Structure 1
Amino acid sequence: MDFTLTLLGTGTSHGVPMIGCDCPVCHSTDPRDRHLRAAAWVHTDDTSVLIDVGPDLREQVIRQHVMRVDAVFLTHTHADHLHGIDDLRGFTRLCRQALPLYARKHDTDFIRNHFDYIFNDHDFKHGWFIPRIELRDLDGQDLIRVGALPIQPIPLVHGHGHAMGYRIGNVAYLTDCSAIPESSYPLLQGLDAMVIDGLRWTPHYTHLCFEQAIAEAKRLQVPKTYLTHLTHDIAYAENQAKLPPGVFLAYDGLDITGTL
């Protein structure tokens, strides 16, 4: 069975173009140089899952005509991956039921504390005008099934903290990481495609740079690798030509077809 991983956003926490920047990339007319905050949509004809709900969520789901969401999976709680959570009310209002949101327990605790208005409305006095979310803790590396989709959590290192990547069938989505723990490599064998953090050419302490991401692709022997979480240092036309065969710059709206 086939599924599609659509990249809703492929940029850093600033997005591209950046506020107040006059650089050539921020003024580029190439649509591949425009990057909303990082997020993804995994979907089949019958199942629809979001990975991350950043501040550009409303624009992203309208652009891609996302009409239904069955579950949300969070990579981590940084603002560029979480602060669109209120816009999930658009989906819960339509379906009239709570939306499962999966994350590490540390992250579900954070969400419950920082967005308490969502979870303290026990009397339903605000009706469907706030998102109705059911927080679900990811228990280690157990596979989660949502409809037709088997979703495998992949623990990652993100600077001094942690993030979660996800594998669906033969495709992995690994944004916001500075390293892959040794214990996660067995979960990433046999991939046909991988979306991985590749901030820019120069190193960064909380993200993989291009050289590091390409090395991970070689280690895992992935035929197609897409670099995401791109900064405004990276012009598509100029930099795609510098990448080795099988490695591509991601861009918003890119569809990657996978097999379950």
Structure 2
Amino acid sequence: MSALFSLENKRALVTGSGRGIGFLLARGLAEAGAEVIINATTQQGAERAAAQLRDDGHRAHALAFDVTQSSAVQAAVERIEEEIGAIDILVNNAGIQRRRPFLEFPEQDWNEVIAVNQTAVFLVSQAVARKMVARKQGKIINIGSMQSELGRDTITPYAASKGAVTMLTRGMCVELARHNIQVNGIAPGYFKTEMTQALADDADFTAWLTKRTPAARWGDPQELIGAAVFLASKAADFVNGHLLFVDGGMRVAV
């Protein structure tokens, strides 16, 4: 059974993994045996996160590059493949949030949300998948959101970007499954992170959340690790085009 979930001799690139959920996912993959490449917006941030993993005995590398710029993505993937080794697992985790009422939402903020949350998934996946197709194997995990399927006040562009990630995941599955590449997504519910700190500090919102969620609590980011390890492992070899909700049951409750 342990062999089904082992990531020994696998190499994983996790975008936006210098901190937060991305770092936790990278750590989880490393603990399952994978060699990980930390990506962040600055080399200093990436190096700091990779050093933490190495201090714990894991194999980790650091590489800062802009996931929204095609040339930077292409160069980074080539460098990883040539200097570190083949990318077996890709986790598209990089993401941002902007909160404004729809009628007041600035075009520049819209462009930034779409660039990081949607376009980057396309660019990085395309560059990595070309290598995976040649090897006839690979795992791609896209981090969506409960807002991939649900709307909420002040985050319409975010929901639109995450809805697009769902369809990217499904379309990529249709085109890449024949090459033995599994493309799936994880859709977190409400987890206490830097991105949601303002909501977590709002007593009224937390009261609404705990009443609305069958599990009656916020999620702990550590609870996303198991989903990532599963989808990255041999245990998920026939799981494809799936969006795995990790939300305490919130999406299915009336």
Using the size of structure 1 for normalisation, the TM-score is 0.37
More helix by share: 2
Using the size of structure 2 for normalisation, the TM-score is 0.38
Pick 1 or 2: higher relative contact order, CA cutoff 8 A, min separation 6.
1
